[in-house]
Amino acid sequence: MDTGKAGPGTRRSGAAGEVWLRPSARRGRGAPPLSRDRIVEEAVALLDAEGADRLTMRRLAERLDTGSTTLYWHVKTKDDVLDLALDAIFAEVGIPPKGGQGWRAGITVLINGWRAVLLRHPWSAALLSRPMLGPNVLARSEFLYATLLEAGVVEPHLTAAAYGLSNYVIGSGLMQATWPTSAEQDVRRAAREHLRANRERYPALATYGPLVAEGDWDAGFALGLTWLLDGIQAGIAGAGDAAGGAVRA
Partner DNA sequence: ACCTGAACACCGTTCAAGT
Site for DNA, rule CB under 7 A? 12, 26, 33-34, 55-59, 66-70, 72-74, 77-79
Residue 85 to residue 42: CA distance in whole angstroms: 9
Query: Considering CB distances under 5 to 8 angstroms, the limit depending on partner class, which of its own copies, DNA, none binds residue 73?
Result: DNA
Residue 189 CB, shortest distance to its own copies, in Å, is 13
Give which of its own copies, DNA, none residue 66 binds (C-beta under 5 to 8 Å, depending on kind). Answer: DNA
Q: Which does 208 bind (CB under 5 to 8 A by kind): DNA, its own copies, none?
A: its own copies
Residue 46 CB neighbour total at 10 angstroms:
22
Question: In angstroms, what is the minimal distance from the CB of 126 to DNA?
Answer: 15
With CB under 5 to 8 Å by kind, the binding choice for 33 among DNA, its own copies, none is: DNA
Q: Which is nearer to its own copies, 19 or 249 (CB)?
A: 249
Please identify, using beta-carbon distances, which residue of 81 and 170 lies nearer to DNA. 81
Tell me how far, at minimum, the Cβ of 67 lies from DNA, in Å.
Answer: 5
Distance (Å, rounded) from C-alpha 36 to C-alpha 193? 48
In the complex with DNA, the residue whose CB is nearer, 69 or 185, is 69
Q: Which residue number, 45 or 133, has a Cβ lying nearer to its own copies?
A: 133
Using CA atoms, how far residue 168 sits from 102, 119, 137, 163, in Å, is: 21, 14, 16, 8
Q: In angstroms, what is the minimal distance from the CB of 55 to DNA? A: 7
Kindly tell me which of 64 and 81 has the beta carbon lying closer to its own copies.
81
